[in-house]
Structure 1
Amino acid sequence: MDLHIPTLLVVSVFVFILMGLLTCHAWWRETRERSLAYLGAMMLLAALGVVLVSWRSRGVDVIPLVFGNMALLLSAAMNWTAMRVFVGRAPSLPGIFAGAGIWLILCFIPAFYDAMPLRVVAYSLMAAGYGVLTASEFWRSRSKLEVAYMPALALTLLHTTFYIVRSVIDKSLPLEQALSGLGDGVRFFSFMLFESMLYVIGIAYVTLAMVKERAELKLKAAAFCDPLTGIGNRRAFMSHGKLLLTRCKRREEPAALLLCDLDHFKRLNDSFGHPMGDQALIAFSRILTAHLRSHDVFGRIGGEEFACLLKEADEQEAVQVAERIRQAFFRLAMLEPGLLSVSIGVVTTRESGYDLSSLLSQADEALYGAKDHGRNRVQTLRMLYLDLTDS
């Protein structure tokens, strides 16, 4: 079935304009996603390019041949830039204008300007080149992208492959013949317009989906992050801690809980101001980050209270880690060495089981034992019971 090319041209222009305006509207509502602005510009430039290219046989061929194709190449460059910005890289102005600039220079060469097959090959290869650049942005950033980028990559590769094939098999059908429906290349020309519309609709949808997914991930991360220290909050600790304990229980591995409370924190705030108290909290969170392993779970679970869940750690190992944390904080020279201190209660799954709430309750008991014994110390539940027995 042959598609009516004049109708396809009109439909493609309106599809490009509509999708461009909708994408720009999405960017306007979420201005932090500049990739949507570039993607909207890509679609609007594509509409402009199709309109200009359609001006053939109206006495001013320089408009469709030169400026129409320049607009289309700028559109392809904007598509690349949109994905480049999405993965966190800065736009490349030389890259954006390279294709259009090369086309303009080539059009000053009579042998190129007058040879339609040569123009088709040159345009197709430059459009494919921008497609390769677009795909490479996803590939080089695949390790850090947390969103589902494969649909966008697949669409881009299919679109790029189409233009590579076009550079080989396109019969260079003049537009006036295409509009009349005559010539061997009519079906390919109509398919090219149809493919362009499908790509614009598809890439707009998957890009908006990636933007939405990333925004949701950021909101989820913010909900699990303590805004002052940048480490996990109570919600994050409880959620990740329960998962860690479940795995440890299934594998019959030990785990230990450290409950840390900064000593005399209210006095620190009253004497030196809340900004200094905030700095103490931040400094302690950095000490935890430096002394704990990547698979351990820790977070700020209260005002000046922190909890750490150590995987595959018995009591002796947990006490050693707690002592290193206590000493590192005690030696901090924020005010004077010794003005800052922390008390730490330690319990293990051996005596308290794998229930996180139970571990926290037992660790809290050990922590208050550390406070009662003069603060700035590490106290285990077993040591506390021995002290109570002796007394």
Structure 2
Amino acid sequence: MAIYSQRRQRSFLYWGLSCVVFASAEVVASLRVFIDFTLLTYTVADILIITAPTLALYGVLWHLTPERQYPVVKYICVGSAVALLALSPYLMLSQLFTSLVVATLFAATAFHLSKARVLTNIYILILTFLFVLHSVLMLGQAAYMSSILSLPISDKSNHILEIILVIHLVLTTCTALVFPMLYFTRSEAHLINLANFDALTNLYNRRAFFTFGEQRIKECIDKEQPIAVMMIDVDYFKRVNDQFGHDAGDAALKWIGKKIGDHIRSSDVAARIGGEEFALILANTDHETAIKVGQRLRASVFESNFRWHDKAIPLSISIGVNCQPLACKDIKHMLMQADKGLYIAKNSGRNQLVENDDTLVGAALS
């Protein structure tokens, strides 16, 4: 949690610096009215103008994928600074160069935001839209500068550039207001994730299982659909911990959690509700389908090779199933019936699937 917060705060720091640098660029550029110092009021200002979206891009990259590094972004400022110093005698060319670089940076930022897995987040959508507008605006400015590049100074008008600057300031202000909202909503989403998911298996935890499970059951009741509940327990799990250590046990639970995830639909509810116990709610699932799913899962665990430090560790699971032609309101009752099947499976040799009516399905371990 601390590492996560520090990394997200770092992305927020980049955004804050981006705003400060942009404001500094405008202050330096406005000095043109008072002093005739081209290197400062044009070249330094342009370097700061390029640095601002570079920091914004880096902040977005850190926010979306903090585990990765993007050294190329850091080199953009250095390369641009060198290029602008070389172009300092040619003011219109240097500003044309600045407009193109800034347009590219804004486009790159919009592209990475559009690839975010949380694209449905309204603040992600707003930011993406703002950066696209930024990019289009800078391209328009570059096109205009190209069209007047060969004109005599007396024929060049700054009115269009002044209008573009005002629009640019408005867009930048809007972006600066949205950045904090993105940060705080992402932090809030992470806290919700911590409250609902088991950190080891990435399945729901016990509390979330009952919360979302009751919602799924209500949906099945409203639609008069069948439902199935499963209780799953890892066989002889204590032996894994005793022989190979708790790290191996954690890895085994994570591996089984992934197996469970691979065998269910997105509409199903899967959770780790105890040490080595898992529970499933299969919405709109009849008796025959539930048995097939359970058997495939049981066989997949037993027939696959879980490896720990290049050593194969045999694993198996026992499953209790309760199927209802029409979902009943009491999730605890359904779990209790599935747990009875699990108890029979555990006491009948393990690596079995048993329904709540005591019907044995599956082969016991030899």
Query: Which TM-score applies when normalising by structure 2?
Result: 0.76
Q: 2:126 aligns with which of 151, 167, 180?
A: 151
Gaps (5+ residues) in structure 1? 1-28, 173-182, 386-391
Q: 1:353 to 1:107 in 2, by over 3 A?
A: same
- Say if 1:234 and 1:299, in contact at 8 Å, map to a contact too: yes
Q: 1:69 to 1:358 in 2, by over 3 A?
A: same
Q: How far 1:268 moved relative to its partner?
A: 5.0
Q: How is 1:53-64 mapped onto 2 (pairs within 5 angstroms)?
A: 53-56=29-32, 58=35, 60-64=37-41
Q: 1:106 to 1:250 in 2, by over 3 A?
A: same
Question: Equivalents in 2 of 1:188, 1:280: separation in Å?
Answer: 63
Please say if 1:80 is aligned against 2:57. yes
Question: Equivalents in 2 of 1:197, 1:147: separation in Å?
Answer: 25
Aligned to 2:249: 277
Aligned to 1:343: 318
Q: How is 1:164-313 mapped onto 2 (pairs within 5 angstroms)?
A: 164-166=139-141, 189=162, 195-266=167-238, 269-270=241-242, 273-313=245-285
Q: Secondary structure at the match of 2:354?
A: strand
Q: Secondary structure at the match of 1:32?
A: helix
Q: Secondary structure at the match of 1:383?
A: coil
Please say if 1:45 is aligned against 2:21. yes
Q: Secondary structure at the match of 2:255?
A: helix
Question: Equivalents in 1 of 2:251, 2:138: separation in Å?
Answer: 57
Gaps (5+ residues) in structure 2? 149-155, 361-366
Question: Equivalents in 2 of 1:167, 1:268: separation in Å?
Answer: 65
Question: Equivalents in 1 of 2:313, 2:38: separation in Å?
Answer: 82
Question: Equivalents in 2 of 1:272, 1:184: separation in Å?
Answer: 77
- Say if 1:330 and 1:338, in contact at 8 Å, map to a contact too: no
Question: Equivalents in 1 of 2:313, 2:36: separation in Å?
Answer: 87
Deviations 1:24-60 (A, max 9, x none): xxxxx84434332322232232233234334446454
Q: How far 1:230 moved relative to its partner?
A: 2.6
Q: Which amino acid aligns with 2:246?
A: H
Q: 2:86 aligns with which of 105, 116, 127?
A: 105
Q: 1:352 to 1:205 in 2, by over 3 A?
A: closer
Query: Which TM-score applies when normalising by structure 1?
Result: 0.72
Q: How far 1:242 moved relative to its partner?
A: 2.3
- Say if 1:73 and 1:126, in contact at 8 Å, map to a contact too: yes
Aligned to 1:35: 11
Aligned length: 339
Q: 1:107 to 1:214 in 2, by over 3 A?
A: same
Question: Equivalents in 2 of 1:368, 1:54: separation in Å?
Answer: 78
Q: Secondary structure at the match of 1:79?
A: helix
Aligned to 1:23: none
Deviations 1:333-379 (A, max 9, x none): 55999964432111112277353222112112222232343433221
Question: Equivalents in 2 of 1:164, 1:330: separation in Å?
Answer: 60
Please say if 1:133 is aligned against 2:108. yes
Aligned to 1:13: none
Q: 1:295 to 1:380 in 2, by over 3 A?
A: same
Q: What percent of counterpart residues are identical?
A: 28
- Say if 1:74 and 1:97, in contact at 8 Å, map to a contact too: no
Question: Equivalents in 1 of 2:201, 2:45: separation in Å?
Answer: 54
For the pair shown, which has the larger CA radius of gyration, 1 or 2? 1
Deviations 1:148-193 (A, max 9, x none): 2122233334444444555567899xxxxxxxxxx9857974x666
